[in-house]
């Protein structure tokens, strides 16, 4: 009876899967393609020489076992090695195994580089496959030394793209960032060896994500200069990747990233909906993580809200630690302003500092923006910074802040959105659309004002605090379960963000 190579390999995989870890399985076995079965010789295609050597070195026993179970004593395995150069030329080389190639096994340094090379080949091929038709073995490129590409790169000369002004010393600690900051420091002191791998920092705009992850990078660079730290925004990563696709250099792209010891990817939400870039990042992530390299990421929202990111990528983020950044409280804002003044040699009277810290409670970037504009004005007008000037500079921001925290404004905006009169929201009616509008308005009142539950209830036609709790809960549940509703909330939230 003729067996088909795919069935045989699928059965082998079942044996292999049961015998090795999931991550190893994914990394080393999922990219393999069964090519042919002839006279009890199964030919499988692997993405590179290194890949083949790695399999031989680490998985030869389980491979033998699986082949034996499927094909008996006569069974043999052969590898077809592909180094896809993206130009689809020439044939893969086939080698016979089992062959103990221990002597030829790379030294640790080579291994490091080769790991990079091989992994890239694998991902490159997957990306190419996703982009066009699957790579057929006949079209695969000639075998070339997989160490070649990466050997040429000396990691010490690679630029980290770090901004030296961001450090832990000038990253003010507060309740808003305590966990994220201390996890960041732990990672900075022991990259790749804590359980915070990956470390994912999330938080709204201007709350200090970039500063914190850059501080991690700078600290590592300062203490262990030989480590290759790379800071890159997800946007730049995406653009580089697209460019590499365009110029047939996907392999070089991946090669480069697999050399990184500490990869800092800023604003991962940018990868949403970019499937091929995600695929590439997924492979890089897996290889770096498996090799014990540190990965640090930031996002402007919690991972669960990263719509458009593949589940398998999201599930990776959960392997490590996710920590959030909140808006700084008054005391932290004071400390941030004082620190900034000291750093830039600015002198501002204490009551002005207090006024600023009190008024600008949106985010740190805005706070810094106001400081800068005050300094500019003061030098332009040759006038000392005083309270009057600060009030003048803050006029438009304060208005927004007030609109934000104002209960009337929330009721009016929500009522308008649902096209109902404001008074109806406070009335006794239980009509569905009115109830929904009321609940949504209560939800935002809780989120954006400092009113107590009791006071919110009071302002919605004298309802009690348990009604408010129920409304907030209902809205939260709906956000999780109903996409359309979630969209509504997001749209309304923009109106309250005051930007
Ligand atoms: P994000 O990346 O979250 O949008 P950034 O890291 O760019 O925010 O921070 C915005 C500005 O605020 C930066 O200039 C940063 O130095 C400053 N900043 C944020 N948080 C802090 C903090 N805790 N201490 C000092 N400066 C901070
Ligand atoms: Mg940022």
C-alpha 156/C-alpha 228 separation (Å) is 7
99 is in an annotated binding site: no
Instruction: Let me know: does 161 contact 87? Beta carbons within 8 Å.
Output: no
Confidence of residue 89 (pLDDT cuts 50, 70, 90): very low
Question: For residue 431, how many C-alpha atoms fall within 13 Å in the half-sphere facing its CB?
Answer: 10
Return the structure tokens found at 101.
């190639």
* Structure confidence at residue 144 as a pLDDT band (50, 70, 90): very low
457 lines ligand 1 (CB under 6 A): no
Q: Which runs of consecutive H residues, i.e. helices, occur in 160-310?
A: 178-189, 209-223, 234-246, 250-257, 275-290
What number is the average pLDDT over the span 293-300?
Answer: 97
Report every protein residue that has its C-beta within 5 angstroms of ion ligand 2: 209-210
What confidence tens digit (pLDDT) does each residue in 63-84 have? 988 998 889 888 888 888 764 3
C-beta of residue 27 within 8 angstroms of C-beta of residue 126: no
**171 CB less than 6 Å from ligand 1?**
yes
* Range 407-497: architecture per CATH: Orthogonal Bundle (1.10)
d(CA 196, CA 296): 9
367 and 336 in contact (C-beta within 8 Å)? yes
Confidence of residue 371 (pLDDT cuts 50, 70, 90): confident
**Is 461 annotated to bind ligand?**
no
Cα 327 to ligand 1 centre (Å)? 11
Query: Where would I find the H helices in 258-297?
Result: 275-290
Phi/psi of residue 280, each to 5°? -65, -45
What average pLDDT does range 158-169 have in this prediction? 89
CB 214 within 8 A of CB 231: yes
Provide mean pLDDT across the span 462-481.
93
How many whole angstroms separate alpha carbon 129 and alpha carbon 138? Answer: 14
Token code pair at residue 391: 């009030």
Cβ atoms of 7 and 44 closer than 8 Å:
no
Q: Which of 60-74, 214-228, 381-395 has the highest mean pLDDT?
A: 214-228
> What Å distances lie between residue 182 and 168, 175, 212, 332, CA to CA?
10, 11, 10, 16
Whether the CB of 177 sits within 6 Å of ligand 1: yes
Span(s) in the chain for CATH 1.10.1750.10: 407-497
The reply, when asked if residue 208 is annotated as ligand binding, is yes
Q: How far apart are CA 406 and CA 450, in angstroms?
A: 9
| 192 has pLDDT over 80 | yes
Any binding-site annotation on 107?
A: no
**464 phi and psi, to 5 degrees?**
-95, 175
Question: What pLDDT does residue 399 have?
Answer: 55
Answer whether residue 428 shows pLDDT above 70: yes
CA of 195 to the centre of ligand 1 (A): 25
pLDDT at 238: 96
Please check whether the domain covering 330-401 is classified as CATH 1.20.1260.10: no
Backbone angles phi, psi at 190, to 5 degrees: -140, 70
Separation CA 79–CA 94 (nearest Å): 6
For ligand 1, say whether the CB of 184 is within 6 Å of any of its atoms: no
Summarize the confidence of residues 284-294 as an average pLDDT: 94
**Domain covering 2-132 assigned CATH 1.10.1040.10 in the classification:** no
Name which of 327, 388, 323 is nearest 355 in CA terms.
388
Ligand 2 centroid distance, CA of 491 (Å): 22
Ligand 1 mutation pick, 206, 325, 326, max ligand atoms within 8 A of CB: 206
Q: pLDDT by residue (tens digit) across 44-66?
A: 888 776 677 778 777 888 898 89
Tens-place pLDDT, residues 13-25 = 999 998 887 767 8
Q: Is the CB of 276 under 6 A from ligand 1?
A: no
3-state DSSP call for residue 228?
coil
Please say if the pLDDT value at position 106 is more than 50: no
In ligand 1, the atom with minimum distance to the C-alpha of 204 is 3
Q: Which ligand is nearest to the CA of 342?
A: 1
Q: What is the mean pLDDT of the chain?
A: 81
All CATH 1.10.8.60 domain ranges of the chain, comma separated, are 330-401
- Residue 52 CB–ligand 1 contact under 6 Å: no
| Ligand minimally distant from the alpha carbon of residue 328 | 1
Is 316 close to ligand 1, i.e. is its CB under 6 Å away?
A: no
Bigger pLDDT: 194 vs 152: 194
CA of 207 to the centre of ligand 1 (A): 5
Q: Which of 41, 46, 72, 71 has the alpha carbon at shortest distance from 59?
A: 46
Average pLDDT, stretch 219-245? Answer: 94
Please, what CATH class does the domain formed by 178-325 belong to?
Answer: alpha beta
Cα–Cα distance between 415 and 425 in angstroms, integer?
7
Give the Cα separation of 220 and 228 in Å (integer): 9
**CB of 335 sitting under 6 A from ligand 1:** no
Residue 82's pLDDT is what? Answer: 65
* Cα 467 versus chain centre, distance: 38
Cα–ligand 1 centroid distance for 366 (angstroms): 10
For the chain, residues classed under CATH 3.40.50.300 are 178-325
pLDDT at 3 (0 to 100): 76
Residues of the chain with CATH 3.30.300.180: 2-132
DSSP collapsed to 3 states, 294-327: EEEEEECCCHHHCCCCCHHHHHHHCCCEEEEECC
Instruction: Please report the atom of ligand 1 found closest to the CA of residue 181.
Output: 23
Residue 197, both tokens? 């791998």
pLDDT of residue 240: 94
pLDDT confidence bin for 373, thresholds 50/70/90: confident
Measured in Å, residue 365 CA sits from the centre of ligand 1 at 6
Q: How far is the CA of 367 from the centre of ligand 1 (A)?
A: 10
For β-strands 76-81 and 229-233, DSSP reports them as: unpaired
User: Closest Cα to atom 6, ligand 1: which residue?
Assistant: 208
| pTM to 2 decimal places | 0.56
């Amino acid at each position: 009876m003729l067996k088909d190579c795919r069935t045989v390999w699928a059965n082998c995989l079942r044996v292999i899967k049961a015998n090795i870890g999931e991550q190893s399985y994914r990394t080393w076995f999922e990219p393999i393609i069964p090519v042919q079965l002839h006279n009890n010789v199964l030919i499988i295609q692997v993405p590179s020489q290194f890949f083949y050597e790695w399999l031989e070195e680490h998985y030869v026993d389980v491979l033998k076992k699986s082949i034996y179970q499927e094909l008996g004593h006569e069974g043999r395995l052969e590898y077809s090695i592909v180094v896809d150069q993206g130009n689809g030329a020439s044939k893969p080389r086939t080698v016979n195994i089992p062959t103990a190639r221990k002597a030829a096994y790379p030294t640790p340094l080579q291994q490091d580089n080769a790991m990079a090379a091989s992994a890239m080949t694998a991902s490159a091929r997957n990306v190419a496959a996703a982009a066009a038709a699957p790579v057929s073995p006949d079209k695969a490129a000639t075998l070339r030394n997989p160490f070649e590409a990466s050997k040429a790169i000396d990691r010490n000369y690679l630029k980290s793209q770090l901004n030296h002004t961001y450090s832990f010393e000038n990253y003010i600690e507060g309740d808003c960032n305590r966990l994220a900051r201390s996890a960041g420091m732990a990672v900075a002191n022991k990259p790749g060896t804590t359980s915070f791998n990956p470390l994912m920092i999330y938080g709204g705009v201007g709350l200090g994500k970039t500063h914190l992850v850059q501080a991690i990078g700078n600290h590592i660079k300062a203490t262990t200069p030989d480590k290759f730290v790379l800071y890159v925004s997800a946007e730049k990563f995406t653009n580089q990747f697209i460019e590499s696709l365009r110029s047939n250099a996907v392999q070089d792209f991946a090669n480069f990233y697999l050399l990184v010891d500490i990869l800092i990817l800023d604003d991962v939400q940018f990868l949403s909906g970019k499937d091929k870039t995600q695929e590439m990042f997924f492979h890089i992530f897996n290889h770096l993580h498996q090799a014990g390299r540190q990965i640090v990421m930031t996002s402007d929202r919690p991972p669960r809200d990263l719509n458009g990111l593949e589940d398998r990528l999201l599930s990776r983020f959960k392997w490590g630690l996710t920590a959030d950044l909140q808006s700084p409280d008054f005391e932290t804002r004071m400390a941030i302003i004082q620190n900034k003044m000291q750093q830039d040699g600015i002198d501002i009277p204490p009551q002005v500092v207090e006024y600023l810290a009190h008024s600008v409670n949106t985010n740190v970037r805005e706070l810094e923006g106001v400081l800068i504009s005050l300094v500019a004005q003061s030098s332009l007008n040759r006038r000392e910074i005083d309270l009057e000037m600060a009030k003048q500079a803050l006029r438009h921001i304060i208005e927004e802040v007030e609109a934000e925290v104002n209960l009337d404004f929330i009721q009016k905006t929500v009522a308008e959105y649902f096209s109902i009169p404001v008074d109806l929201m406070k009335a006794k009616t239980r009509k569905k659309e009115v109830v929904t509008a009321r609940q949504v308005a209560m939800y935002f009142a809780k989120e954006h004002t400092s009113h107590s539950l009791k006071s919110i209830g009071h302002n919605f036609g004298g309802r009690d605090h348990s009604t408010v709790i129920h409304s907030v809960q209902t809205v939260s549940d709906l956000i999780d379960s109903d996409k359309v509703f979630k969209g509504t909330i997001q749209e309304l939230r923009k109106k309250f963000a005051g930007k």
